[in-house]
Amino acid sequence: MAKEADDLGIRVLKSVFGFSQFRPYQEDIIKAICRGEDVFAVMPTGGGKSLCYQFPAVTLKGVCVVISPLLSLMKDQVDSARETGLRAATINSTTSASDYGKALGAMQRDELDLLYISPERFNSPGFTEKLLENNISFFAIDEAHCISEWGHQFRPDYLELGRIAKLFPDAPIAAFTATATDRVAADIKSRLGLRHPFEIRASFDRPNLDYTVQRKDDLNRQLLDFLKTADGQPGIIYRGTRKKVEETAEMLKKHGIAALPYHAGMTAPQRDRVQESFTYDRIQVVVATIAFGMGIDKPNVRFVIHGDLPKNIEGYYQETGRAGRDGAPARCLLLFGYQDVVLQNSFIEQYEDPRTREVTREQLKQMIRYAESDECRRKAILRYFGEEYPSENCGHCDFCRGAIKHIDATVDAQKALSAMQRTGNRFGIGHLVDILVGAKTERIRKFAHDRLPTYGVGKDKPRKYWHFLFNALVCKGAARMRPDTDYPIPQTSEAGAEILRGRGTFELIDFEPTETKRRAPKKTRVRGAKRDGVPKERGVIPDDSDLFDLLRTRRTELAAAKRMPPYRIFSDSTLLEMAERKPMTRDELLEVSGVGEYKMKRYGQDFLDVIAEYIAESPDGEDLS
């Protein structure tokens, strides 16, 4: 019987969802829900959480109630579920009276697999009574960390979800989150009243993401250089303030890049239009504050760039996790400058609560340690979440590619500290840099600083290097900002005095963005795969990248005709596999991951026609070996 049940599960997985095998932990979670057990699952973004509740929603009697915090995300999830052939609906504050009635009617007639609601809707007067009148198979709580005050996105309305276990004692509760420390995890389980839950804590590793840190020395040039390697594919650029978001978006548009800003200062309709433009591939880049990304389910984001230092590792992980959700390769670039650290420290000092200052300061230190890390980036991220990466070299970060190294900057530090000392610790970094590079400014002449022994001793290096070094001295404790002035004036600390005396050393991590390092990681290409073979790596670029482009073009045409996001038809990774396998028949196309029977009926012939035409026009005809 167990074997028959397993076979049935695989058949449903393939026929409905188009996959031939489960991802790690999915099957165990599904079986636990079907056994009537509560579930608590920590799974990284892109780990396949939605399948964990959509699969049992299809196979169990009754309706699965999915509670999600974002209206725009709910709409996207419902549309995607329907496109897969699932019976799904949503009830929220934007739902019309007509659609509200249709959803309730479908639920009462047992014609609904999934009902998506917000926590606010669950708490609204009379709504739980309506749910109690129906057959609820189980509850799925998405973004479950929102119930914890220790979580990074606490939502007070989530606290009322603790009533579910009391009101619906026979309905299992499956809680999902992408990130949760042990403290947050314990809080989630307690507040939801989970009953001896089946627990999964999946690896936080995202093996398809490539992590790189570069010194931020000319942000606009660095962004433009990176985008030249992006081949027009979609991505997100995060900036620290609304003003920076607007400036960067405008700069990109002036250089011919389809980009729009997104931040909390915009109206809700404006933000919705930006999300829609990005979702439907009308623009390539969204430049955003950290608020962007949670409300969409766009799987084919190919890069995430942080133009400013994130405030903490958890936020950085969440934001980079919005890249490559389809499993295909994606890049994450952090442009790091010590000036960002100095600025954030000044903000931290403005917090009145000492505990808040202490926690925020420690989070910033963790972020700096990551940026300066002299080990694998992946190891550093996973260790934050209490996980050890098993290999010595991940092969997908700048450190493991040998792109960074330690440099002894002691002599340069002594030059900079000497300039500070000899000018009485009374001048800002800009003027100190002028002294070191031998600038001929009126201010230097006014104070006779051109007669100092340190005048011009640093002219062998660019100004940007010295700005970087001065900020590094402050961040590493060799200098500190004077507390008696509002102007940022560095002064030598005790540690800096020791360096000046030759009793201490000063090191920098060298991640200078040279031309070599600015190039994109090499695209992996698979050669020699048979038509009935399996690609050697999920999401690799096939030899026939022209065919992949043709398939993407056809997908865009179909999506435009149906007014839906292109990825909802087939993901990039599914098209990549089509281009690799080159299926010629319905049965062969059904073997491609992501192609189920419902989508086969709706779109299969369109893509088979593209492949057949490509092969017919190929110089080698049908010789695909």
pLDDT(512) > 60: no
8 A C-beta contact, residue 17 and residue 571: no
**Mean pLDDT, range 256-263, rounded to an integer:** 95
For the segment(s) 2-201, the CATH number from 3.40.50.300, 3.40.50.10240, 3.30.479.30, 3.40.30.10 is 3.40.50.300
Q: Which residue has the higher pLDDT, 404 or 552?
A: 552
What single DSSP character describes residue 15? I
pLDDT (tens digit per residue) in 341-398 = 878 877 887 888 888 888 888 888 889 888 887 789 999 999 888 888 988 889 999 9
| pLDDT range class, residue 617, cuts 50, 70, 90 | confident
Residue ranges per structural domain of the chain: 2-201, 209-404, 407-510, 525-617
pLDDT(521) > 50: no
Q: Which of 10, 338, 47 minimizes the C-alpha distance to 202?
A: 47
Identify the weakest region by mean pLDDT among 397-411, 512-526, 575-589: 512-526
**Mean pLDDT, range 425-431, rounded to an integer:** 92
**Mean pLDDT, range 178-192, rounded to an integer:** 85
pLDDT(53) > 90: yes
8 A C-beta contact, residue 403 and residue 511: yes
pLDDT (tens digit per residue) in 553-567 = 999 999 989 888 898
pLDDT given for residue 6 in this prediction: 57
- CATH architecture observed for domain 209-404: 3-Layer(aba) Sandwich (3.40)
d(CA 418, CA 449): 12
pLDDT (tens digit per residue) in 285-330 = 999 987 665 556 788 899 999 999 998 888 899 899 899 988 889 9
Half-sphere exposure of 194 (CA within 13 A, CB side): 25
Give the number of other Cβ atoms within 10 Å of residue 554's Cβ: 20
pLDDT given for residue 486 in this prediction: 66
Its CATH class, for the domain covering 407-510, is mainly alpha
- CATH architecture observed for domain 525-617: Orthogonal Bundle (1.10)
Burial 28-47 (b: 16+ CB within 10 A, else e): ebbebbbeebbbbbbbbbbb
Query: Percent of the chain, pLDDT > 90?
Result: 50
Which SS3 state, helix, strand or coil, does residue 214 take? strand
| pLDDT range class, residue 514, cuts 50, 70, 90 | very low
Q: Which residues contact 268 (CB under 8 A, 6 or more apart)?
A: none
Q: Which residues contact 383 (CB under 8 A, 6 or more apart)?
A: 389
pLDDT(524) > 80: no
8 A C-beta contact, residue 15 and residue 590: no
Asked if the domains at 209-404 and 525-617 fall in one CATH topology, the answer is no
pLDDT (tens digit per residue) in 471-490 = 889 878 899 888 777 677 89
C-alpha to C-alpha distances, 112 to 14, 55, 58, 88, 137, nearest whole angstrom: 21, 13, 9, 6, 11
**Mean pLDDT, range 405-421, rounded to an integer:** 92
pLDDT(549) > 50: yes
pLDDT given for residue 352 in this prediction: 80
